[in-house]
Structure 1
């Protein structure tokens, strides 16, 4: 059995951190070894999941996830989702490092509008006593035909400055301050054709989060299959560490205050992927393949030389 009976939730989480999960979506449903499921609830009413064989990266199949137009224009808080979740007993403790790999391909037509789209996100569990709505500490987003990546943490008014001529000083990162939710969102990956208008909300700079660009651009959405390899290690007090690779190329390293430390939050992190947007017309579809989660870099990222550098 993939999920063993270990007693306390803390013991279960510690054990799950050492597991390797993998699903190539080659069957007619989720495999036990993958530890994934499609969440059936009202938020996912606009979504569908299809195990299909026509479009695939490897193996005999891939997962097609779609959302259709459902949200009324009168409800700005409504969203349309078709997200796949890790099973709750398999979640990893919040500040333990873990590697994720997944491949995504944008189906035609690829949206080009300036709108809120997400393709993957990492979050902290939210307990029943937590106050507020907490954004993902790491999110792969899409708008205006461009993929970009953001990191969220608590609002830190100290060490915040304004950009000079639109550029943050050395050691600082563009950030969108959201004091009303005790959060701030940092822009950590942007494509080469990113324009000032694309970042109209990221009008401040913070030294709480440091970004090291590795000299490679995030792929274009229309380029075909994109395989992302990601190291996830949140650390709201400044010990966070994220790495992002795409198609075997090192995109960015992020360190510092990553994630939330508010009271009432849960003990674990979790990953979910799939199309998620504010209400929009028409159907939006994404294909996913080759999901893997492992404590070991080498299982997710095949470039061993990068693993040696990151693991130092």
Structure 2
């Protein structure tokens, strides 16, 4: 639960109030996709102009929100999100989250391009095991009561203590590595993927940490998808580096016109184009972003700190260092 010092401190009522207030720019924006949102977490609460809140549900009750001034990147404050064990031993389909969401009133349309920037610091200890760890994710809204479990179309993850970025889409054609079509691996520009027929989705690993190889990541990324094109410009910074400033372009396109850009500390990491995201019965018309630790049930605390959140319709609205990619 949001708090300055614990689960229900003096910042709790302030945070709830901020949830109900739209950013001042929202009144002038005909389309929320055009909003420019910013929150430096300097006021010990979520700023109304940032459009963020902490969602209260069962999984989120494993989490804690702490607005702190000890470890910051810019300004006076940052927010630390942490999870504690909540799922019982041997529990199935249980997860633990401490995620900050975009408020419903600021959500961008699914067919619009939106740029996001935020700084992230993985606090010690950094998990080293091979299970689900997600620190930021973008999803398509789902209509309440709809069937299906759609993974994020873009996600910043941790694999065995190493950073990785994935994109996801509806199931697309993929050729197993070592098979007759791809005996020696993926062709230049093809994404290395995990095909999940039961979920009817394909997940691509599109960026890895510097100094790593594909062998350092799960072996289930064992096929190649021509429908997802990846240009790798550089690798991600080390997970243990400290503060990393990320910029992402979010443009889902399940029909093949998706476009994602990944920038870290001002350096262009990857360009991803093609089939990105989902379409189908029960899916809504908006996209949404959330950040904070999300994991499969696992013993031990885990915390991640964030600073300097920003969002806008153009790269220039969010980038601090480096150059914006050419269209």
**Would you call these one fold, judging by a TM-score over 0.5?**
yes
> Are 1:199 and 2:199 an aligned pair?
no
CA contact (8 A) 1:154 1:182 kept: yes
Q: Give, in angstroms, the shift of residue 179 of structure 1.
A: 1.1
- Structure 1 residues 291, 166: closer, same or farther in 2, change over 3 A? farther
State which drifts further: 245-254 or 179-188.
179-188
Q: Give, in angstroms, the shift of residue 174 of structure 1.
A: 0.9
Which residue is equivalent to 1:82?
98
CA contact (8 A) 2:24 2:49 kept: no
Q: Give, in angstroms, the shift of residue 281 of structure 1.
A: 1.1
CA RMSD, Structure 1 to Structure 2 (Å): 1.9
SS at match of 2:212: coil
CA contact (8 A) 2:25 2:36 kept: no
For residues 242 and 185 of structure 2, the distance between their equivalents in structure 1, rounded to whole angstroms, comes to 32
SS at match of 1:298: helix
SS at match of 1:45: helix
CA distances 1:108-162 after superposition (whole Å, capped 9, x unpaired) = 11111122100000000001353210000001000211010111000123xx212
> Are 1:245 and 2:263 an aligned pair?
yes
Q: Give, in angstroms, the shift of residue 91 of structure 1.
A: 0.2
SS at match of 1:266: strand
SS at match of 2:31: helix
CA contact (8 A) 1:130 1:262 kept: no
Aligned length: 301
- Structure 1 residues 171, 249: closer, same or farther in 2, change over 3 A? closer
- Residue segments in structure 1 that go unaligned for 5+ positions in a row: none
Q: Give, in angstroms, the shift of residue 170 of structure 1.
A: 2.2
Corresponding residue to 2:314 among 296, 300, 304:
296
For residues 316 and 68 of structure 2, the distance between their equivalents in structure 1, rounded to whole angstroms, comes to 29
CA contact (8 A) 2:98 2:294 kept: yes
Corresponding residue to 1:27 among 19, 43, 54:
43
Segments of 4+ moved more than 4 angstroms: 3-6
Query: With structure 1 as the length reference, what TM-score do the two structures score?
Result: 0.92
For residues 120 and 199 of structure 2, the distance between their equivalents in structure 1, rounded to whole angstroms, comes to 31
Q: Give, in angstroms, the shift of residue 197 of structure 1.
A: 5.6
CA contact (8 A) 2:248 2:262 kept: yes
CA contact (8 A) 2:119 2:246 kept: yes
Q: Give, in angstroms, the shift of residue 2 of structure 1.
A: 2.1
SS at match of 1:207: strand
Corresponding residue to 1:226 among 244, 249, 269:
244
Corresponding residue to 2:71 among 39, 55, 61:
55
For residues 5 and 250 of structure 1, the distance between their equivalents in structure 2, rounded to whole angstroms, comes to 31
For residues 199 and 158 of structure 2, the distance between their equivalents in structure 1, rounded to whole angstroms, comes to 22
SS at match of 2:59: helix
- Residue segments in structure 2 that go unaligned for 5+ positions in a row: 1-21
Corresponding residue to 1:175 among 178, 190, 193:
193
Corresponding residue to 2:175 among 154, 161, 167:
161
For residues 204 and 130 of structure 1, the distance between their equivalents in structure 2, rounded to whole angstroms, comes to 30
